[in-house]
Amino acid sequence: MNEVIQSSAVNEVIQSSAVNKTRLLLVSGSTRHGSTNTAVLRTAAAVAPPGTHSELFDGLAELPAFNPDDDHEPLPAPVNELRRQIAEADVILFCTPEYAGALPGSFKNLLDWTVGGGEIYRKPVAWINASSVAAPTGGAGAHTSLATVLGYVGADVIEPACLRLPMSRDLVGTDGLVSEQGLREKLASAVRALLGHRPAESTATECTLSP
């Protein structure tokens, strides 16, 4: 089983005593309660290979509006936490909705805060596009924008791990996870592809997923 941590410590987690882990950071572009995008990321954590330490960044709504004048020490606490999690991650997986043909403003704000720190530079990253089949462009506008920003900050986009996975809310169970087995298998394959590009010095050991 794998360990999933929410940074606000909403859920009790049994932490592994192992020191070396493959650290997967999950970043949702939605602040919506019951978000399908967040459900996709939680499911990605659940189907990740044994030994994966997954952390779901849940501070999107707390980030202040980006201002270059504020991008210096001491950073606002939510920004400092974001950069800490990025720095400690081996790989990062994003999942974002599309609003008005582009990235949601709150998520673009998060990405803006990553520019000055440099923590994401050469970090292996990928994204899951979970826009429903009813979306006019299938979320293409948001993910084109995301690719542009990730290229600008020098992230290492792992194309085989980027996945178009049309989702509807009725595919999310009462446990907040994607229930359809075929979708779970596709997510598992994408996660394995991303983890395969973790830094060579990272050594995976088994962790525990809390209920």
> Does residue 99 sit in helix, strand or coil?
strand
Q: What are the extents of the domains in the chain?
A: 3-10+28-195
- What pLDDT, on a 0 to 100 scale, did the predictor assign at position 142? 84
Q: pLDDT tens across 60-85, in order? A: 999 999 999 999 999 999 999 999 99
Q: What letters, b where the CB count within 10 A reaches 16 and e where it falls short, cover 120-147?
A: beebbbbbbbbbeeebeebbebbbebbe
**Nearby residues of 137 by Cβ (< 8 Å), 6 or more positions away:** 98, 101
Burial grade of 106 (CB within 10 A; 0-12, 13-18, 19 or more): middle
Q: What is the mean pLDDT of residues 138-153?
A: 86
Amino acid at 21: K
50 contacts 1 by C-beta, under 8 angstroms: yes
What 3-state class would DSSP assign to 155?
A: coil
pLDDT at 57 over 90: yes
pLDDT at residue 101 tops 90: no
3-state DSSP assignment of residue 157: strand
CATH number of 3-10+28-195: 3.40.50.360
Interval 165-173 mean pLDDT: 89
pLDDT of res. 100 = 83
Beta bridge partners of 154: none
Confidence of residue 18 (pLDDT cuts 50, 70, 90): very low
Handedness of CA 168, 171, 176, 177 (dihedral sign): negative
Distance CA 96, CA 127 (A): 8
Residue 193: its pLDDT value, please? Answer: 97
What's the DSSP call for residue 72?
S
| 179-207 per-position pLDDT tens digit | 999 999 999 999 999 999 876 444 333 32
